[in-house]
């Protein structure tokens, strides 16, 4: 990877991935793109272009103009949002992906796009979910992710495009809040703990889901893309996770630093139904074996860092 273009660069993953890639590969070698510019966009941060991924010609033109060799495609609607507007989600999530894969094929680019634990469904084994297992998701987002995995493998086997992907768990970060996800409660709880010392969870007590701190997610992307291709038996997409937690686990972890923190529940049936269809904990042994995947942050280390960073961030924002 020498020159990288990222779609969805203003999203929860994209905003931090662009920063991390610029630190690693040089500011001028990472082009951020999204459907709009940031209000406080500053050219000194590095190249940025407005790209709607459903516009193939525009995506092709920007990749060609910047002579990129790698395309990281993140632009997509997340699970809860996709459930609300399924046809739009199909158009963006699948139309955008096909365009990105076609550009990668035409320009011979290395390619990354994330899948998700959302690619599994209610009849997938819920504990230690295997790398290779049944995938019958019951959400539009999950259908998009399974179809995406199959498409990326097809572009590898049929056209030789170097496609690689991971199945992300819920991602937790303090830089850019997620939007429209089912696991967003795991981010909101930290913001509310700092601001109000209380949070009302829309996910029910006892609902286990895989989660990961954003620094581990960013390292995983770079590690996979730099991995020795001869060791990859799989490509799209690798199971990776850090912790399997339920809302009460966050409550206990936060109370270690904010003893008066209180968690209550007001379950959202739509997002609860999505969460119930996903695994409790997935098995990551394949990613460990094929490219030495390892997460550094457990629940306590993440909680300590999240609360410290949010205290500072919210103090500045006022
Ligand atoms: C979502 N954060 O909630 C995303 C993710 C595993 C969850 O795909 O839709």
Let me know if 42 is exposed, middle or buried by CB neighbors in 10 A (0-12, 13-18, 19+). Answer: exposed
- Residue 139 Cβ inside 6 Å of ligand 1? The answer reads no
- Residue 178 Cβ inside 6 Å of ligand 1? The answer reads yes
Mean pLDDT of the chain: 97
CA 289 from centre of chain: 22
**Nearest protein Cα to ligand 1, atom 5:** 170
pLDDT in tens, 77-115: 999 999 999 999 999 999 999 999 999 999 999 999 999
- Residue 306 Cβ inside 6 Å of ligand 1? The answer reads no
**Nearest protein Cα to ligand 1, atom 8:** 116
Residue 66 CA to ligand 1 center (angstroms) comes to 31
What is the per-residue pLDDT for 87?
Answer: 98
pLDDT in tens, 180-234: 999 999 999 999 999 999 999 999 999 999 999 999 999 999 999 999 999 999 9
Residue 152 has pLDDT above 90, yes or no: yes
Q: Which of 75, 168, 272 to mutate to test the pocket of ligand 1 (most atoms within 8 A of CB)?
A: 168
Residue 62 CA to ligand 1 center (angstroms) comes to 28
What is the per-residue pLDDT for 41?
Answer: 75
Residue 78 CA to ligand 1 center (angstroms) comes to 6
What is the per-residue pLDDT for 44?
Answer: 76
Whether the upstream peptide bond of residue 264 has omega within 30° of 0, thus cis, is no
Task: List the domains of the chain with CATH numbers.
Answer: 4-169+213-239 (3.40.50.720), 170-211+242-281+296-317 (3.90.25)
pLDDT in tens, 227-277: 999 999 999 999 999 999 999 999 999 999 999 999 999 999 999 999 999
Residue 43 has pLDDT above 80, yes or no: no
Residue 42 has pLDDT above 80, yes or no: no
CB 208 within 8 A of CB 244: yes
- Residue 181 Cβ inside 6 Å of ligand 1? The answer reads yes
What is the per-residue pLDDT for 317?
Answer: 81
What pTM did the predictor assign? 0.97
CB 5 within 8 A of CB 66: yes
What is the per-residue pLDDT for 191?
Answer: 97
Planar angle of CA 65, 67, 71, nearest 5 degrees: 105
- Residue 79 Cβ inside 6 Å of ligand 1? The answer reads yes
What is the per-residue pLDDT for 318?
Answer: 76
pLDDT in tens, 55-73: 999 999 999 999 999 999 9
Question: Dmax over Cα atoms in the chain, in whole Å?
Answer: 57
150 band by pLDDT with thresholds 50, 70 and 90 = very high
The catalytic site residues sit at 141
Q: Is 147 helix (H, G, I), strand (E, B) or coil?
A: helix
177 band by pLDDT with thresholds 50, 70 and 90 = confident
- Residue 114 Cβ inside 6 Å of ligand 1? The answer reads no
């Amino acid at each position: 990877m020498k020159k990288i273009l990222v779609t969805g660069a203003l999203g929860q993953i994209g905003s931090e991935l662009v920063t991390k890639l610029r630190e690693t590969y040089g500011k001028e070698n990472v082009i951020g793109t999204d459907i709009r510019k940031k209000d406080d966009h500053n050219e000194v941060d590095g190249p940025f272009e407005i790209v709607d991924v459903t516009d193939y010609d525009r995506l092709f033109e920007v990749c060609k103009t910047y002579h990129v060799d790698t395309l990281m495609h993140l632009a997509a609607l997340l699970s809860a949002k996709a459930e609300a507007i399924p046809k739009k989600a199909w158009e963006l999530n699948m139309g955008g992906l096909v365009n990105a894969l076609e550009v990668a094929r035409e320009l011979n680019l290395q390619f990354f796009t994330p899948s998700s634990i959302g690619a599994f469904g209610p009849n997938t084994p819920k504990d230690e979910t295997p790398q290779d297992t049944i995938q019958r998701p019951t959400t539009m987002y999950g259908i998009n992710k399974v179809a995406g995995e199959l498409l990326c493998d097809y572009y590898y086997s049929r056209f030789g495009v170097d496609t690689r992907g991971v199945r992300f768990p819920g991602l937790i970060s303090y830089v850019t809040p997620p939007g429209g996800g089912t696991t967003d409660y795991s981010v909101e709880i930290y913001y509310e703990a700092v601001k109000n010392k209380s949070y009302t969870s829309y996910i029910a007590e006892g609902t286990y889901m895989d989660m990961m701190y954003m620094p581990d997610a960013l390292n995983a992307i770079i590690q996979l893309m730099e991995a020795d291709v001869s060791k990859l038996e799989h490509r799209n997409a690798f199971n990776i996770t850090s912790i399997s937690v339920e809302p009460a686990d966050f409550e206990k972890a936060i109370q270690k630093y904010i003893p008066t923190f209180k968690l209550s529940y007001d379950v959202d049936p739509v997002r609860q139904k999505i969460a119930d269809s996903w695994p409790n904990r997935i098995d990551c042994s394949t990613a460990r074996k094929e490219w030495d995947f390892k997460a550094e942050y457990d629940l306590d280390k993440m909680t300590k860092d999240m609360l410290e960073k949010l205290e500072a961030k919210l103090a500045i924002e006022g």
